[in-house]
Amino acid sequence: MSVGLEHFLVLGAVLFAIGIYLALTKRNAVAVLMGIELMFNAVNVTFVAFSRFVESASPLTGHVFVVFIITVAAAEAAVALALAVLVYRNRETINIDEINLLKW
Amino acid sequence: MAMKTEPFVVNIGPQHPSTHGVFRMKLTLDGERIIDVDMILGYLHRSMEKLAEERTYTQNIPFTDRADYLAAMTGNLAYCLAAEKLAGVEVPERAQWLRVIMSELQRIASHALAIGTFINDCGAWHTPLMYMLREREKVLDLFEMACGARLTVNYMRIGGVAFDVPDGFVPACRALVKEMPDRIAEYEGLLLENEILVARARGVGILPADMAIAYSISGPMLRGSGVAWDLRKADPYAVYDQVDFDIPVGTNGDSYDRFLVRMEEMRQSVRILEQGLDALPGGPVNVDIPVALMPPPGETYARIESPRGELGFYVVSDGGPAPFRFHIRAASYINLSALREMTVGLTVADAIVVLGSVDIVMGEVDR
Amino acid sequence: MPTRFLSGLELAQRIEQKLPQTVVEALPEWVEVQPEKLVDVCTFLRDDPDADFRFLASLTGVDRLDHFEAVYHLQSFRLNQLGVLKVKSWDHDDPEVPSVAPVWPGAVLQERETYDLMGIRFAGHAGLRRIFLWEGFPGHPLRKDWLSMPGQRMPGLHRFPGEPGEPDVGRG
Amino acid sequence: MDDSGSVVAFWTLAALTVGSALMVVAVRNLVHAVVYLILSFVGVAGIFVLLSADFLAVAQVLIYAGAIPVLIIFAIMLTPRAARDNAETSLGLPALPLVGALLATIISIAVVTDWPEATRGGFEETTSVIGEALLSTYVLPFEIASVLLLAAMLGAIILVRED
Amino acid sequence: MPFDWLRAGPPLAEWWDLRDLGNAVGGLLGWIDDRGGPSWLPYVVSGLIGIVGILLWSVFSQLFFVWAERRLVARIQVRLGPNRAGPLGLLQPVADALKVLTKEMITPRNADRLLFWASPILVMVPALVVFAVLPFGERMVLADLNVGVLFVIAIGSINTIVVFMAGWSSSNKFSLLGAMRTVAMLISYELVQVLALLAVVVFTNSMRMGAIVGWQDDFNTWIVFVQPLALLAYIFAGAVEINRTPTDIAEAESEIVAGYHTEYGGIRWGMFQLAEYVAGFAIAAIVVTMYLGGWTLWGLEEWVPGWLIFLGKLYGFFFVFIWMRGTLPRLRVDQLMGFAWKYLLPLLLVNVLLAGLEVLIWQENGFAAEAVLPAFAVANWALAVVLVVGWGQVLGHLRPEHRAKRPVLVKEVGAILYEPYPLRPGGSVPEA
C-alpha cells in the first residue's frame, strides 16, 4: 500500500467540498468565512501535492504560490472579520440571511 | 458610531485578593473600561454604635480598637478625647506625651501597611509588602512591650493611658527612631523612581482639590490632592502644639501623590517621635475616674488625625453612665465617597490601584 | 493655632442676616435651622467668604426619643473654623429632612448610613438605599425603640438574606 | 511514498483533517467550530510535513492555527451572544447535491488524469529556495502582496475604528 | 537509513560517555539495526527516549524550581520560605504536588465541559513541543528541524488559543477578562519575538537550532554580543508569554484573581502551573540556544558534558525571571501593548535592518570574522544604548509626569497647592 498524488488530490477535494458547503449554508458570517478558509487550505494541499509529485524544472513554485495564498488569506480574513463586526454594529446582526440591503 | 458591546458586570469582592477585607465593588465594564461603579458594604458591620449605647464610657474603648483595627491607638485616642471633653477630665502631662508617641508609632505601622498593600495592588509580588511588614512588626513589638497587645491594644484610658511604659520602652523606641530614617530612605530609593510604579500610579485616579473638599475627603488623600490640612496642626490635640513637624502635600491629587504623602508622613512621624522621646516628662500617666463615669448632659465632637484621615467621635450624653449616642466619623468610609468619581473611565487594573491608594480598612468602613 | 469654634449664636446671627426666619434655636454649641430652609442655609454657609464651610466634616443623626435631629459639623479650611448645624424632625415614625448631597457630595455616603441605621429619610437624595444592612432588614437599629418596635416586629431575620422564602420585611 | 510510516501518517492526518472539518459543519457552538477548524488546520500542517514542505507546515501552524483563529475569536467576541450559534440556512439541503457533484467532478479528474509524476523524493531544503524565488522571480507579486497586506490592515482598522 | 546524523560525526568515546547522551541513544539504535529490527523501530525508540526524557526532566525541574523560586523570592522578601518539609524544605514541592493531586477537581455548572476538560491537557503541548527542536547537547536533539526558529514561534502561537479556550470555557468573568487580555497581549508580542529572532537568523544564516549553536561555536562568540537589543526584546516577550511580572496581567492576582485559570482546581490547576514553568524553561532554553551559545562554553564542552552546560545556563537564566517576579510591579495591559507596538517594534525593525547591513558588509568584503565581529559588537552595543535611551526620550518616558517627585512640605494649614494635570479628572495621563 502506498500513498501517491491522487490521495492528496482527493483529500484536497474533500476539504474543498466541506469548505464550500460551509460557505453556502451557514447562517453566520463568521462561519461562512471559516468555510472560505477551509477552501484555501484545500487548494494549498493540492498545490503542495503537485509540487511534490509532478515533474517540473522548478518544483518549489507551488510552495511559492501557497505562500502567496496564505498571505492573501490572512489579509482577506482580517478585512472580512472587520466587515462582520461593522455589519453587526450597523445592522445588529451577522446573520447573512438578514443582510439583504443589496437585494434586487 | 460607538461600539455597542454588552455591558459586562464584574464583582470585585467581597472575596478578592485586593479589596482589603470584605469590600465589594460592582464594576460595569465596557471591555476593560469602567462605565459605572457601585459599592456594596456591610459585610463586616457589627453595629458598634448601637452596642456602645449599652456600655459604660470605659467599656466602649475596645470598640474603638476594633473599628480601625490597623490603627487601634489612634482610635482609642479619639474616643478618649471625646469622653474627656464631655466629662471635663484633665490628662496628665506624661500621658499626653505617651499618647503622641503611640499615635505616631501607630501612624508608621499603618502607613507601612498601606504602602505595602498599595504596591501589591500595583502588581508587585508581595516584596514591598514584606519589607513594610517588617517595619510594622517592630512597631507592634513596641506596643506589645507597652501594653501586652499588638493589634487591638486598648491602651488609652479616659484620663490618660492604661499603664506607664516599661523601662525598656524608651531605649527600644529610640533604636527604632534611629533606624527608621535610613529605612525610609531605602524604600524611597527602591520605590519612588520605579518606572513601572510611576507608570501605574501617576495620573491614575486624580482627585482635584476642590472635589476632594466637596467629597469630605480627609487624611493623606486630602493632602495628596494638594490641600494642606492636618488636624495635628489645625486643631492640635494632646501636645501636638509642642512638636515641630511638616505637612507633606502632594500637588497632582493622583494615586502616586497619596503614596508619596504616606511615605513622607512616616518620616515626619519619626521626627515627632524623636521630639516626644526627648520631651517625655515623668509623673502619673492617668487620673482616677469613677468606674461609672457619668458626664453631664451635652454633646461633643472630638476628632484627631488618624492615619486614614479625620477620625471623629460624636458623643451625646444624657447624664447617664452610657453614651446616649455614639457616632464614629470613620475616615476611610467617607474617603470612599469619591471612589466612583476617581474610577469611572479607567480600567479594571487602575480601579484596583485607586482602591489601594484610598487605603480602606473594612473594620472602620463597616463598623 | 487651634481651630476656632464658631459658636451657634454667632452662626445664627450670620444666617439671620442673609436668610431671615430660618434659625429655630441658637445655643453656644449649635444652631438649629428650619428643615425646609436647610439647603439654602448650607449653600449660603458654604459660599459665604466669612463662613467658608466648604468641608462637611461629619453628618449624623440622633434619636432624641420624641424627635430626630440631624447634626452637621462644618469645617472651613481657609479660616480654620468649625460650626455645628442641626435640623430636627418631629415626626418620629417617618422622619424626613432635606438632603445636603447637592451642596456637599461628601454627604451622599453619610446620609445613606444615617438613613440605614437611624431611619431618617433625606429628601432629594438620589440613591437613598440601605448601605450596611440589607434591603428588607426590619427597622433601623440605632433608633431607641428598635428592640421593641411597634407591631411586635422583631429585629433580625429568619434566614440569611437572599435565601428563598417569604420576604422578611416587617415580620410580625 | 510507500513506506509504512508515511501511509499510516497520511491516513491518520487525512482522517483528522476531514473529521475535524466535518465537525466544523456539525457542531452547533461557533466557538467549538473554531476549535475544530484549528484542529483541521493542524492536520493540514501535518499533511504538509508529509509532503516535505516543512516551511509551509510551520507557516501554516503560525498563521492558520495561531493568527486567523484569533481574528475569528475576536470577531465572535465582539458580536453578541446571540450570534454565537452555528446554524444553517434553508439552503442546507439544496447545497448537498451541488457539493456532491462538485466533489465527484474533482475526484474523477484527479483520478482519471494521468499526471506526469516525478520520481524524486522529498525536498531537502525548501526555505532558502522559496526565499530566493520570492525575491527574484516573484519579486513583483511579493511586493504586491505586501502592499495588499498593508491595505488590508489599514482597511480593517478604518472599518472598525470608533469615530 | 534513518538517524544517520545521529551516527555521523567523529566516533566519540564509548556509549557510556556522559559528555554526550546522544551516544547512548546512537549506540542503542545501532544495536537495534544490527539485530535487523523493523525499519520503524528506531524512530519509535528514539522518539520515545526523547519524549520521556524531556517529560521527566521538565517535571522534575519544575518541582525543583517551585522550591527554588519560593526560597529565592523569600530571600528577596526578607523571609525564609519553605523550610519544614525535608532538609531546607526540599520536600515542599512533593507535599504540594500530593496536595494538588488529592484535591477535588470542580467543574463549574455553566462551564463548557469539553473545552474546560481539554484545556489543561492542551496547555502542556506547546510548552513541551518546543523542546523537540532545542539541542541539549551536540547531538542531543529530538528533531533538528531546518525551520527550528519558525517552529518555536509557531508553537508559541498555539498557546494563545489554548489560553483562550481555558478562559472562555470557564464561564467566569475574571477568566474571560484574563483570556482576552492574554490573546491581545500574545499576538502583540509574537511580532516582537519574530523580529528579535529574525535578527539572529540574519547573522547565522540558518533557522536550524543546531546550526545557530554551531555558528556561535565556530566564531567563538555569543550572539548576545552582537545582538544585545534582540535579546532584551526577547526576554521581555518571553516574560509576556509565560505570564511573569511585570507582565503577568493575564493572571494578575490583585486584579482578576487568577485570570484564565481562576476556575481550575486540583491537578488541572497543577497542569497550568506545570505548563507555566515548562514554558518558562522553554523560553530560557531558546534564549540560551539563540543568544547565549547553547551547550558550548568556549571549549569547556570538551571536558564538561554539553548538556550540563546547557542546563546550567538555562537555570541561570531562569533565575532572571524569578528575580523579575520578586522585584517588579505589574504593567497595565494598554501600557504593555503600547510598549510592544510603540517602543519595541520600531527599535527591532531598525535592529534587523542594521543586522542585515552588517552581514552584507561582512559577506561582500570577505572580512575575517575575528576582526569584524568585535567591531559589530561594539557598534551594536553602543547603538542599543543610544536607541533605547533615545527612543525613550522621543516617546516622552522622561517627561516630568514620568519622573519621581517629592511632596511639598508645608508648616501652615489651609493652603491649597493643587496643580491640575492637563487632562480630565478621573482619567489617566495619556500615553505619549
pLDDT of residue A92: 65
B1 pLDDT band, cuts 50/70/90, is very low
Provide the percentage of residues in chain B whose pLDDT is more than 90. 6
Domain boundary among D31, D65, D86: D86
The answer to whether the CB atoms of D54 and E160 lie below 8 A apart is no
Residues on chain B touching E252 (C-beta within 8 angstroms): 123, 349
Distance from CA of B185 to the nearest CA of C (A): 32
Residues D8 and D74 in one domain: yes
pLDDT digit string, tens, across residues E367-404: 777 778 888 888 888 888 888 888 887 776 656 555 55
Residues D77 and D129 in one domain: no
Residues of chain E with pLDDT under 70: 1-24, 37, 39, 252-254, 299, 301-302, 396-404, 420-432
pLDDT digit string, tens, across residues E115-136: 888 888 888 888 888 888 888 8
Chain B interface residues (partner C, CB cutoff 8 A): 41-42, 45, 47, 49-50, 211, 213-217, 227, 229, 234-236, 241, 298-299, 301, 303, 310, 312, 314, 316, 324-325, 327, 329, 333-334, 336-338, 341, 366-367
The answer to whether the CB of B114 falls within 8 A of the CB of B359 is yes
Kindly give the interhelix angle for E92-102 and E266-291, rounded to the nearest 10 degrees: 130
Q: Is residue D113 part of a domain?
A: no
Of A69-78, B22-31, D120-129, E120-129, which gets the smallest average pLDDT? D120-129
The answer to whether the CB atoms of D88 and A25 lie below 8 A apart is yes
Residues on chain D touching A9 (C-beta within 8 angstroms): 106-107, 110-111
E288 Rama sector, left if φ>0, alpha if ψ -120 to 50, beta otherwise: alpha
**Cis (ω within 30 of 0) for the bond into E425?**
no
> With the C-alpha atoms ordered C60, C65, C68, C74, is the resulting torsion angle positive or negative?
negative
Calculate the CA dihedral of residues E59, E63, E68, E70 and round it to 10 degrees.
Answer: 130
> With the C-alpha atoms ordered B316, B319, B324, B328, is the resulting torsion angle positive or negative?
positive
Chain C interface residues (partner E, CB cutoff 8 A): 77-80
- Residue E73: count other Cβ atoms within 10 Å of its Cβ: 20
Number of independent structural domains in chain C: 1
Q: What's the CATH superfamily of B7-366?
A: Cytochrome-c3 Hydrogenase, chain B (1.10.645.10)
Class of domain A5-98: mainly alpha
Instruction: Map out the domains of chain B as residue ranges.
Output: 7-366
- Residue B328: count other Cβ atoms within 10 Å of its Cβ: 26
Q: Per-residue pLDDT averaged across C119-138, rounded? A: 82
Say whether pLDDT at C172 is over 50: no
pLDDT of residue D116: 79
Q: Which chains have at least 3 CB atom pairs separated by less than 8 Å from chain D? A: A, B, E
Say whether pLDDT at D125 is over 50: yes
The answer to whether the CB of A87 falls within 8 A of the CB of A29 is yes
The 8-class DSSP code of residue B7 comes to: P
pLDDT digit string, tens, across residues B330-358: 888 888 888 888 888 888 888 888 888 88
Q: Cell triple for residue C17?
A: 442676616
Residues on chain D touching B6 (C-beta within 8 angstroms): 80-81
Q: Which of residues 189-208 of B touch E (CB under 8 A)?
A: 192-200, 202-208
Residues on chain E touching C79 (C-beta within 8 angstroms): 414
The answer to whether the CB of E266 falls within 8 A of the CB of E104 is yes
Cα distance between residue B39 and residue C112, in whole Å: 12
Q: Per-residue pLDDT averaged across D107-129, rounded? A: 78
Question: Which of D80, D162, D163 has the CB atom closest to B6's CB atom?
Answer: D80
Q: Which chains have at least 3 CB atom pairs separated by less than 8 Å from chain A? A: B, D
pLDDT digit string, tens, across residues E231-272: 888 988 888 888 777 777 777 666 777 778 888 888 888 888
Say whether pLDDT at B2 is over 50: no
Q: Cell triple for residue E401?
A: 509626569
pLDDT of residue C171: 41
In chain D, what is the greatest distance between 2 CA atoms, to the nearest angstrom? 60
pLDDT of residue C40: 86
Neighbouring-strand partners of residue B161? B156
pLDDT of residue E426: 42
Q: Cell triple for residue E121?
A: 491537557
- Residue E112: count other Cβ atoms within 10 Å of its Cβ: 20
Calculate the CA dihedral of residues C25, C28, C30, C36 and round it to 10 degrees.
Answer: 30
Comparison of pLDDT for E11 and C26, the residue scoring more? C26
Comparison of pLDDT for A83 and E228, the residue scoring more? E228
pLDDT of residue A54: 80
Comparison of pLDDT for C153 and E412, the residue scoring more? E412
Say whether pLDDT at A22 is over 50: yes
Cα distance between residue C84 and residue C31, in whole Å: 7
Assess B60–E contact: CB distance below 8 Å, yes or no: no
Assess C149–B contact: CB distance below 8 Å, yes or no: no
pTM: 0.83
For A4, which residue in chain D has the nearest alpha carbon? D1
pLDDT digit string, tens, across residues C75-117: 888 888 888 888 888 887 788 888 888 888 888 888 888 888 8
Q: Per-residue pLDDT averaged across A47-63, rounded? A: 81
pLDDT of residue E420: 65
Residues on chain B touching A92 (C-beta within 8 angstroms): 4
For C134, which residue in chain B has the nearest alpha carbon? B42
**Cis (ω within 30 of 0) for the bond into E246?**
yes
Indicate the pairing of strand C96-98 with strand C121-123.
parallel
Indicate the pairing of strand B298-306 with strand B309-317.
antiparallel
Q: Which of residues 61-120 of C touch B (CB under 8 A)?
A: 62-63, 71, 73, 77, 80, 82, 84, 104-110, 113, 117
Distance from CA of B119 to the nearest CA of E (A): 7
Assess B7–D contact: CB distance below 8 Å, yes or no: no
Assess D49–E contact: CB distance below 8 Å, yes or no: no
C163 pLDDT band, cuts 50/70/90, is low
pLDDT digit string, tens, across residues B275-310: 988 888 888 888 888 888 888 888 888 889 889 888
Question: Which of E114, E154, E187 has the CB atom closest to D58's CB atom?
Answer: E154
Range of the domain at D133: 125-163
CA nearest C109: which of B206, B215, B68?
A: B215
Say whether pLDDT at C170 is over 60: no
pLDDT digit string, tens, across residues D53-70: 888 888 888 888 878 888
Mean pLDDT over each residue of chain D, to the nearest integer = 82
Q: Is residue D73 part of a domain?
A: yes
Cα distance between residue B362 and residue C8, in whole Å: 35
Instruction: Order across the sheet with B33-40: list the strands.
Output: B8-12, B24-30, B33-40
Instruction: Map out the domains of chain A as residue ranges.
Output: 5-98
User: From start to end of B197-292, where are the E strands?
Assistant: 247-249
pLDDT digit string, tens, across residues B210-238: 888 888 888 898 888 888 888 888 888 88
Range of the domain at C97: 4-152
Q: Which of residues 72-91 of D touch E (CB under 8 A)?
A: 73-74, 77
Number of independent structural domains in chain D: 2
C67 pLDDT band, cuts 50/70/90, is confident
Residue C21 sits in a domain of what CATH number? 3.30.460.80
Cα distance between residue E412 and residue E428, in whole Å: 31
The answer to whether the CB atoms of B226 and E416 lie below 8 A apart is yes
pLDDT of residue B5: 59
The answer to whether the CB of B364 falls within 8 A of the CB of B333 is yes
Indicate the pairing of strand C81-89 with strand C4-5.
parallel
* One-character DSSP codes across E263-294: T--HHHHHHHHHHHHHHHHHHHHHHHHHHS-T
Q: Which of residues 323-342 of E touch B (CB under 8 A)?
A: 325-335
